[in-house]
Structure 1
Amino acid sequence: MLTHLNLLNFALADHLAIDIEQGFNVLTGETGAGKSLLLDALSACLGERTDTNYVRYGTEKSDVTAIFSYQADSPEALWLKTHELDDESGEIHLRRVIFATGRSKAWINGRPSSLSELKEIGRLLVQLYSQHSQQQLLEPPYPKHWLDRYSDFHLPAQAVRDAYSIWQKNIKMHQAALDAQATRLQRIETLERQLEELEEVISIDYKEIEQEFDRLSHHEHIMQDCSYSLNVLDDSEQNITQELSSLLRRIESHAGRSEQLSEIYNSMLNAQSELEDATANLRQFIDRQSFDPERMEQLNAQLEIFHRLARKYRTQPELLKIEFDEWQQELQKLHQLEDPETLAEQVELSQQDFLNKAQHLDQIRREAAPPLAKQLTEQVKQLALPEAYFEFRFDPLEQASAEGLSFIQLLFTANKGIPAQPLARVASGGELSRIALIMQVMNAEKTESEVLVFDEIDVGISGGTAEIVGRLLASLGQHVQILCITHQAQVAAQSDQHLLVKKLQTDPASSTIIELEEEQLVLELARMTGGVEINETTLQHAKQLRQLKFQHS
């Protein structure tokens, strides 16, 4: 779970350190106070996109750290071990630094990490639900995805996608074999002729013979320059080797008198050793050299062959070997190319495998749909929709796809005696927000993440409906940690921890987040229900809302 957030120069926050408790945590505050501060900071630590607005005005960078605790057998523990990021603390430290220039850096448990790694571990730790999630309900794939997620059909759905992919791949291979059959023999003959022409020449290293030919072409000049160099180094009366020995004797006599002279003497001594080795190697090189006219002719002939073939195949002489290898691979593939009849059998087999898996998935989806629709109906009825009714409709697809055999729609009606219609067609905005909220809560019950974040998902509800939502979230908070931004006092009253965001009149402006004690909490609930002026009536109502939490605990 999330245990701590530390914000330094992040947006309106100067320096905030917040401890987060287990259970149902709410975040409230007046409009413009900066309620999104905490969630924006958390999102930054989870690898989401940031911008320079997150850097507090007048500073060079913002620095955010989120600390999570985790269980030894959890998915995030396995991820940390796989990436060699686990430690003995039993904690996960996610840190993000955002610079005013737009750049950012990230760390996981102190090690520099990529944003993709932050996102990977973030998806395991936190699930985020926002007030905009209701728009997802209007997207055609959503009912199917929601059904699969709630019913844990991930594996059979993935098996269908994989089988469909293999089937389509086999179809393409079969068509390619049909297309290639006409030109296959002709291409094989061409490749074999080209390979035969290059077979002898590619056994020779072009760069080696080019270098050897160049050396023989300049043999006379090389020998003249090498002989002159050897004479200056060692053979003349006043050669460099003797002169250096004389210099060494002179410096050696004074080396003990100066540390700097001693270092110079050692450097010269090393240079003498290097020079002696070079002289010996040069003498050996000269002794081994000989000019071979026949070898030069042979090399010239080989180079001419290389250049002729390079011109013929429109490449560079040194690249002929690469061309040869590529032609060999192509020829091998053409020889291995299965005939169309064999591939047609594979198409049929893979199609049947896909259909078997797709029919199984379709069947379990149809079996799971009615009880899930019934459960959704009962949950939504609590939110001032007493006549709500849901059902899933399965329409066979004209052509099977990677997603299965049926197009799945969620049908809805809010009125008794009126047939259910596709949700996007008949649900009002207020109804959609309540349905989305319940579907998100039901999804949250199935998630493996230990932290669930709800960002103003209770927009559009109030009164008794908001109280029921609060109870739902509080009940969910007994199993996972919940962070919820809310404007509803009825929701906030059910919290285990209440965090208040306040804007401070500093220059520049800043925000702070404080944990409310019970008395402060009641005052905040009164403000949420009654506005700026808190009187005895609003205060009494706030106390009653808070008492409801303990009555239902």
Structure 2
Amino acid sequence: MLTHLTLINFALADHLAIDIAHGFNVLTGETGAGKSLLLDALSASLGERTDTNYVRYGSNKADVTATFSYEDNSPEAIWLKEHELDDESGEIHLRRVIFATGRSKAWINGRPSSLSELKEIGRLLVQLYSQHSQQQLLEPPYPKHWIDRYSNFYQPAQAVRDAYSLWQKHIRQHQAALDAQATRKQRIETLQLQLEELEEPVQLDYKEIEQEFDRLSHHEHIMQDCSYSLAALDDAEQNINQEIASILRRIESHSGRSEQLSEIYNSMLNAQSELDDATSNLRQFIDRQSFDPERMEELNTQLESFHRLARKYRTQPEQLKMEYDAWQLELQKLHELEDPETLAEQVELSYQDFLAKAEHLDQIRRAAAEPLAKQLTEQVKQLALPEAHFEFKFEPLDQASSEGLSFIQLLFTANKGIPAQPLARVASGGELSRIALVMQVMNAEKTDAETLVFDEIDVGISGGTAEIVGRLLADLAQHVQILCITHQAQVAAQSDQHLLVQKRQTDPASSTIFKLEEDGRIQELARMTGGVEISETTLQHARQLRNLKFQHA
């Protein structure tokens, strides 16, 4: 449940700290006062999209923190434990900072978090319903999704989608096998010939052959240069090793007199050791070398074979081994390719599995539709639509889909004796708004979220209808926390807590939100019903509206 909201430099708010009570909370205020301020801030804290307009003019960042209480073993408690974000306070603190540059940062219980994590926990905590939700009623999938959501058919609906996906996958595999069957045999023969031709050459290492051939080609020059080097190092009368030994003796005699000379001596001593090793290795290299013309001819033949095959298969000689491995893998896959008849059996089995799950889903949807339509009818009748009637129409699809076997329409009539027709065709704007409101309230009864937010969903209703809407929300608030922005005094009068938004003509302008006590509530209800001039008549009417709440409590 939402308990507290803090806004710092958020839109028109410079610094607001608001306590939210349990039960039914309403938010009212004059047009332009900033009623959407609280909901925008709450949405930001829940990870929804933001922009730089949320940063108060003259500030470099906006800061919002929403605090929620929760029960042990609730979905949000489990989520916190899974993400190691639970603490001893028994609260959830969601913080969002929006910078004027467009970036934002998020924290959950003090730990930096991603927006996706913020959205995940947000969906468990708050469910938002807006005044635009009536447009969803006109979208073809909405009736089906509404039945599934209200009746908790998520798992069987997902099972149908998964089975459909597997069926379609098997269809694609079967078609691919049919397409490949014609060319499969020819491709296998081609690959076998190519592999046979490369089988012997790829056993050799092209780089090693190339290097050995290059060494033999330059054998004479290599031996000349190595012999000269060995003589200079060790065999000549005045050789380098002797000179270095002489230098070392001279420096050693003075190394005790200077720390720097001592370091130089040690460095040259290490160099002498390295040079001795190099001289020994050079002598061994010269002793082991021999020129083999037959080996050179063999290497030349192997290199010519590599280059010929590389030209044939349009690649580099060193890439032939990679090509060989790729062809082997392709050949293996072609041999393993299932027979189209076997795949056809898989297609049929997966179709039967999909069909069984889809028929089950269709049956439970049909069973749920009739009582649900009756319940919707009874609820809507209260909203000044006494002859309202709803029914769900199931039409078999020409082709099964991942959503099931039937196209589901919500039919409606507002007049006695006139058959129900598709909702989008016959419902007026006012009727749609009332129907959407009832459907949202019914859905809200099934949600796991403990906080429900209704953003001006009572647009298009007034008078006694608004009063009934207020009662619906007040009854719902017996089980969950409700936060509602409204222009209807009849709705606001049914609330447990009334928050008023007022704009202050500061520089720059700012908005504030504060809780109204009973006298203040009467004044605000009178303003909502009577306009700017508040008379004794409007005040009396406001008191009557408040009395209605207590009479139905």
User: Which bracket does the TM-score occupy, shorter chain normalised?
Assistant: 0.7 to 0.9
Structure-1 residue corresponding to 2:441: 441
Q: Equivalents in 2 of 1:39, 1:233: separation in Å?
A: 87
Partner AA of 2:348 in structure 1: E
Partner AA of 2:192 in structure 1: E
Structure-2 residue corresponding to 1:155: 155
Task: Please tell me whether residue 416 in structure 1 is matched to residue 416 in structure 2.
Answer: yes
CA separation of 1:253/1:329 partners in 2, compared to 1, >3 Å: closer, same or farther? closer
Structure-2 residue corresponding to 1:478: 478
* Deviation at residue 92 of structure 1 after TM alignment: 2.7
Q: Give the TM-score of the pair, scaled to structure 1.
A: 0.87
Q: Equivalents in 2 of 1:35, 1:512: separation in Å?
A: 10
The 8 Å contact of residues 244 and 272 in structure 1, kept in 2 or not, is answered as: no
Secondary structure of 2:445 counterpart: helix
Q: Equivalents in 2 of 1:87, 1:283: separation in Å?
A: 71
* Deviation at residue 43 of structure 1 after TM alignment: 1.4
Q: How does 1:209-358 map to 2 (within 5 A)?
A: 220=222, 236-237=243-244, 249=256, 252=259, 286=282, 289=285, 307-317=307-317, 319-358=319-358
Percent sequence identity is 77
Structure-2 residue corresponding to 1:450: 450
Task: Please tell me whether residue 504 in structure 1 is matched to residue 511 in structure 2.
Answer: no
Structure-1 residue corresponding to 2:466: 466
Partner AA of 1:343 in structure 2: L
Stretch deviating more after TM superposition (115-124 or 285-294): 285-294
Q: Which whole-Å deviations, capped at 9, do the CAs of 1:425-475 have from their partners, x for residues lacking one?
A: 000000000000000000111111122111110101111111111111111
Q: Equivalents in 2 of 1:129, 1:80: separation in Å?
A: 25
Q: Equivalents in 2 of 1:10, 1:281: separation in Å?
A: 75
The 8 Å contact of residues 143 and 409 in structure 2, kept in 1 or not, is answered as: yes
Q: Which whole-Å deviations, capped at 9, do the CAs of 1:309-360 have from their partners, x for residues lacking one?
A: 4444334555544444433332222111111111122222221111111111
Structure-2 residue corresponding to 1:366: 366
The 8 Å contact of residues 164 and 402 in structure 1, kept in 2 or not, is answered as: yes
The 8 Å contact of residues 127 and 453 in structure 2, kept in 1 or not, is answered as: yes
Structure 2, unaligned runs of 5 or more: none
Count of residue pairs brought into register by the alignment = 542
Structure-1 residue corresponding to 2:141: 141
Secondary structure of 1:180 counterpart: helix
Q: Equivalents in 2 of 1:66, 1:29: separation in Å?
A: 22
* Deviation at residue 207 of structure 1 after TM alignment: 6.3
Q: Give the TM-score of the pair, scaled to structure 2.
A: 0.87
Partner AA of 1:494 in structure 2: Q
Q: Which whole-Å deviations, capped at 9, do the CAs of 1:184-229 have from their partners, x for residues lacking one?
A: 1111222233334444555566667777888898995996999899
Q: Which whole-Å deviations, capped at 9, do the CAs of 1:397-436 have from their partners, x for residues lacking one?
A: 1111111111110000001111110000000000000000
Q: Equivalents in 2 of 1:26, 1:309: separation in Å?
A: 82
Q: Which whole-Å deviations, capped at 9, do the CAs of 1:337-388 have from their partners, x for residues lacking one?
A: 1111111222222211111111111111111111000000000011111110
Partner AA of 1:417 in structure 2: G
Q: Equivalents in 1 of 2:269, 2:28: separation in Å?
A: 80
Structure-1 residue corresponding to 2:46: 46
Structure-2 residue corresponding to 1:375: 375
The 8 Å contact of residues 213 and 300 in structure 1, kept in 2 or not, is answered as: yes
CA separation of 1:237/1:81 partners in 2, compared to 1, >3 Å: closer, same or farther? same
Q: Equivalents in 2 of 1:11, 1:140: separation in Å?
A: 37
Partner AA of 1:125 in structure 2: L
Q: Equivalents in 1 of 2:270, 2:484: separation in Å?
A: 75
Structure-1 residue corresponding to 2:94: 94
Stretch deviating more after TM superposition (215-224 or 50-59): 215-224
Q: Equivalents in 2 of 1:224, 1:476: separation in Å?
A: 101
RMSD: 3.5
Partner AA of 1:383 in structure 2: L
Task: Please tell me whether residue 546 in structure 1 is matched to residue 546 in structure 2.
Answer: yes
Structure 1, unaligned runs of 5 or more: 255-264
Structure-2 residue corresponding to 1:126: 126
The 8 Å contact of residues 373 and 392 in structure 1, kept in 2 or not, is answered as: yes
Secondary structure of 1:183 counterpart: helix
Stretch deviating more after TM superposition (82-91 or 245-254): 245-254
CA separation of 1:513/1:276 partners in 2, compared to 1, >3 Å: closer, same or farther? farther
Q: Which whole-Å deviations, capped at 9, do the CAs of 1:33-91 have from their partners, x for residues lacking one?
A: 11111111121222222111111111222222222233332223333333333333333
CA separation of 1:490/1:198 partners in 2, compared to 1, >3 Å: closer, same or farther? farther
The 8 Å contact of residues 233 and 279 in structure 1, kept in 2 or not, is answered as: no
